[in-house]
């Protein structure tokens, strides 16, 4: 069944026999997938319409004070939509999040929006999810409302792997601290950064390693921590592998903002203007300053050998 997407409560048809879950679902990781599978299971076993509610932009984008660091997100709304569809969501409501919306009391949200506009037979809630003004929408509040309004409620317990509770925050920290392998394990797929190939300064070509400079369209998209990675991408439908560098390139530039550049192995076509999805598979080493361009080239040659060895071992 093709997923139906609604951008407003008035777009979705009322159906009192609906099971609803809600959350930001950044990353749509294994813990989120557990909620999605439970939503589908309840819908099938109890004959209910499954509805997933999410929000865009992320609350911290709208409500963040200038004193707090900028939120870095695992997925854009477009990427979340793609993952929801992949995991079989049938009805997706994306609430346009605003300061005004954040001031709605949680009881009002359940009664006037979810119950009246969508329809509500059952709510499925993640163990750590809060909603409504000041995050006062709790499991306990829903229990009170369920008795009053006649719907049922079920809590999904945390998803654990390796003795660790999987969360978007945990995965963000792993990606920033060279833990891409563990992050991918907890996501359930390789972490991806998508962006347009833009013109750089040409210095990669100048030292024999031409790179595609990737500029993500979403300023809140998380770039993994600085360093060198094994990556893959598809170009015109064909799978390619390569190595990526994230960082300031201190040996050859005075950049102050990290960039993502990808050297695609065995490819010499023109990538400028193309949109590439870069998948991160393995962290190789931290970025560092070299004493000379010659020393840098020597290290890049070693990086390429390490990348190709890993690719041959894992993918071929």
Beta strand segments in 83-237, E: 91-96, 122-126, 152-156, 160-161, 164-165, 191-198, 212-215, 227-235
Query: Hey, what CATH topology would domain 190-315 get?
Result: Elongation Factor Tu (Ef-tu); domain 3 (2.40.30)
Q: In which residue ranges of the chain is CATH 2.40.30.30 found?
A: 190-315
Mean pLDDT for the stretch of residues 159-171: 95
Flag whether pLDDT at 200 surpasses 90.
no
For the whole prediction, is pTM greater than 0.95?
no
Tokens of 76: 């854009």
Task: Kindly report, as residue ranges, where domains of CATH 3.40.50.620 are found in the chain.
Answer: 4-164
What residues have CB less than 8 Å from 39, skipping those under 6 apart?
19, 21, 50, 52, 89, 124
pLDDT of residue 163: 94
Q: What is the pLDDT of residue 5?
A: 98
Tell me how crowded residue 2 is: count the other CB atoms within 10 A of its CB: 6
- Mean pLDDT, the chain, rounded, equals 93
- In this predicted structure, what is the pLDDT of residue 84? 98
Mean pLDDT of all residues in 22-38: 97
pLDDT tens-digit readout, 246-286: 997 654 555 557 899 999 999 988 999 999 999 999 999 99
Residue 300: name the closest of 313, 311, 285, 314 by CA.
Answer: 285
Q: For the segment 121-131, what is each residue's pLDDT rounded down to a tens digit? A: 999 999 888 89
Given a contact cutoff of 8 angstroms between Cβ atoms, the answer to whether 44 and 11 are in contact is no
4-164 CATH pick, 3.40.50.150, 3.40.50.620, 2.160.20.60, 1.10.600.10: 3.40.50.620
Max Cα distance, the chain (Å): 73
User: Among the listed ranges 98-102, 116-120, 135-139, 197-201, which one has the minimum average pLDDT value?
Assistant: 197-201
The token duo for 196 is 């347009």
For residue 73, give the nearest of 58, 62, 63 by alpha carbon.
58
Q: b/e per residue, 106-134, with b = 16+ CB within 10 A?
A: bbebbeebbbebbbbbbbbbbeebebbee
| pLDDT greater than 80 at residue 202 | no
What is the structure's pLDDT at 248? 76
> Residue 204's pLDDT band (boundaries 50, 70, 90)?
low
Asked whether the predicted pLDDT for residue 201 surpasses 90, the reply is no
Sign, CA torsion 156/160/164/170: negative
Is there a contact between 56 and 94 (Cβ–Cβ < 8 Å)?
yes
Residue 246: how many other CB atoms lie within 10 Å: 21
């Amino acid at each position: 069944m093709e997923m139906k997407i609604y951008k407003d409560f008035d777009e979705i048809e009322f159906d009192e026999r609906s099971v609803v879950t809600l959350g930001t679902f950044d990353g749509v990781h294994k813990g989120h997938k557990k909620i999605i599978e439970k939503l589908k299971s309840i819908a099938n076993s109890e004959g209910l319409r499954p509805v997933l509610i999410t929000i865009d932009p992320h609350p911290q984008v709208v409500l963040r004070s200038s004193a707090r660091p900028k939120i870095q997100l695992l997925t854009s709304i477009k990427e979340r939509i793609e993952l929801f569809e992949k995991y079989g969501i049938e009805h997706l409501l994306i609430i346009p999040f605003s300061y005004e919306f954040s001031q709605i009391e949680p009881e009002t949200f359940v009664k006037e929006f979810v119950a009246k506009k969508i329809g509500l037979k059952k709510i499925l809630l993640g163990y750590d999810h809060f909603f409504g003004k000041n995050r006062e929408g709790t499991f306990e509040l829903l229990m009170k409302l369920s008795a009053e309004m006649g719907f049922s409620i079920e809590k999904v317990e945390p998803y654990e792997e390796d003795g660790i509770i999987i969360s978007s925050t945990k995965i963000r920290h792993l990606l920033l601290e060279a833990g891409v392998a563990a992050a991918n394990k907890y996501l359930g797929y390789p972490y991806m950064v998508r962006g347009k190939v833009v013109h750089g300064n040409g210095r990669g070509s100048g030292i024999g390693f031409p790179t595609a400079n990737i500029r993500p369209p979403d300023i809140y998209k998380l770039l993994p921590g600085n360093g060198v990675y094994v990556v893959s991408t598809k170009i015109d439908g064909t799978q390619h592998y390569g190595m990526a560098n994230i960082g300031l390139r201190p040996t050859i530039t005075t950049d102050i903002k990290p960039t993502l550049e990808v050297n695609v192995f065995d490819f010499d076509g023109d990538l400028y203007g193309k949109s590439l999805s870069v998948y991160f598979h393995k962290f190789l080493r931290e970025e560092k300053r070299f004493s000379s361009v010659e020393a840098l080239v020597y290290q890049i040659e070693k990086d390429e050998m390490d990348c190709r060895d890993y690719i041959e071992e894992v993918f071929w």
